[in-house]
Each structure stands twice: as C-alpha cells, then as structure tokens.
Amino acid sequence: MNNHSSERLYLYPLWIRIWHMINAVLCLILIITGLSIQFSNPSVVVKFKTAISVHNIAGVLLAINYIAFFIGNLFTTNGHHYIMPVRGFFKRLIIQIRYYTIGIFKKENPPFPITPDQKFNPLQQFTYVATMYLLVPLIVLSGFGLLYPEMTLKSLLGASGLELTDFLHVTVGFFITLFMCIHIYFCTIGKTPASNFKSMINGFHESH
Ligand code: HEM
C-alpha cells in the first residue's frame, strides 16, 4: 500500500513563495531585456535604452531578493533542504535519473518520496543548490561588475577584464535560462501537471 496517497504536506513557507514569485517574474524580465540587449537591432520588441534601464533595475531587485533568500535559508529550517550529503551523492543521482527515464513510465513509485525532512529529490537538490549558490551569485556579481566597470579588473592574463566579465554574465545567463526551462518542465511531473504550481501558491505539496 502506498502510505503517501493523497497526503498534503506543508513544504513551502510563505516567505519562500513570495521570494520565488518575485524571483521568477524578475528572471523573466531579465531574460527578455537581456536578449533584447544582446541581439539589439532597431526593430526589437524592447528598445535598447529601455531594455538597459529595465534590466539594471530588475538586476538590482533580483540581488536584494537573493539576499532575502540567502538570509532566510540561513536562519530557517528551509536551509536544511539545501545541504547535500556528499556520501553516495552520485548513486542517488543515478537512481533518480533512472526513475525519470525508465521507472516513471513503468508507473514505479518515486525512489525518494517527498517528506517534510526531504522535500527535494537528489536531482532537484543538486540543480537548486547549483543554481542558487553558484549561478545566481555569479550572475549578480558579474552584473554589478558591468554596472560599475571602474570596480572591475582592468585585465586578466592579457584579456580585457570587462570583456571577461561580460562573457561570464552572458554564459551564466544562458545556463539560468536553460535551468528555468527544464525546471518548469519538471514541475509538471506532479500528481497532476498543475499540482506543483498550485503548491507554490498555497504552500501544500500533494503526493502521488
Ligand atoms: C516562471 C518561472 C518559474 C516557475 C513557473 C517555477 C515553478 C516552481 C515550482 C512549481 C516549484 C515547486 C516545486 C519544486 O520544488 O520543484 C518551484 C520551486 C523552486 N524554484 Fe521555481 N519556478 C520558476 C522560476 C524559477 C527560477 C528562475 C529559479 C531560480 C533562478 C527558481 C528556483 C526554484 C527553487 C530554488 C525552488 C525550491 C524552493 C524551496 O522550496 O526552497 N524557479 N518552482
């Protein structure tokens, strides 16, 4: 018997839902304006100057929102979900990947059922930790480097410091965009395609 059937677990506290909503909206704005700046031409959807102003403001707001996430995870139990045990890490990751590629189609039960102590499966945990503690800090720091070029290194190993910062910013932006697309797709794999999205509004996760 599946003792998780139709169980409702309160996994997403209000502060994380508010942080996440602001973060998602800002990321969408940053991606649209970022692409408009990168591929600027007179007929783009968002005008170059407008795109830059909106991108700068959204970037600063994202940085402030990130600080809220960082402090929230430091001082509340939500932070526990971001501590990745190193032992057996790859083994757990492979079991989860096998489930997503084979097991799920055979209607097997998830290998890491969601509990209040373990709300992320190993793949989710890895991607959330990498995104929130590596990619987002890198994009925020490189963004500030571009906003205040006088603070950026003049040159590094003979290459222009500003160009390197720009390259880092655009590359990390690409990976965050990729994360977001895959993230939204995986969020549809819930009890119903919409249930994980509802969880991020009411805080309750619905198990299979
Ligand atoms: C429109 C865009 C987005 C949608 C619809 C969306 C949707 C969701 C949903 C449904 C969840 C809850 C299910 C789960 O834990 O997997 C979630 C959690 C999460 N999302 Fe997103 N997301 C979006 C954008 C983003 C972006 C841009 C980031 C990071 C840069 C992000 C990072 C996270 C994190 C870290 C969690 C776990 C939060 C926690 O419980 O501690 N999301 N997202």
pTM for this prediction: 0.92
Domains of the chain, first to last: 8-206 (1.20.950.20)
104-141 pLDDT tens trace: 999 999 999 999 999 999 999 999 999 999 999 999 99
Instruction: Determine the atom of ligand 1 nearest the C-alpha atom of 27.
Output: 27
The single residue listed with the structure tokens 């929102």 is 65
First vs last C-alpha separation in the chain: 12
Amino acid 145 reads G
Nearest CA to ligand 1 atom 15: 120
> Is the per-residue pLDDT at 3 higher than 50?
no
178-189 pLDDT tens trace: 999 999 999 999
> Is the per-residue pLDDT at 16 higher than 60?
yes
Dump strand ranges (E) for the chain. Answer: 8-10, 155-156, 159-160, 204-206
Nearest CA to ligand 1 atom 23: 24
Q: What whole-number distance in Å separates Cα of residue 208 and Cα of residue 191?
A: 5
How much distance in Å is there from the Cα of 98 to the middle of ligand 1? Answer: 23
Nearest CA to ligand 1 atom 11: 200
Q: How many helices (H) and strands (E) does the chain have?
A: 7, 4
How much distance in Å is there from the Cα of 42 to the middle of ligand 1? Answer: 34
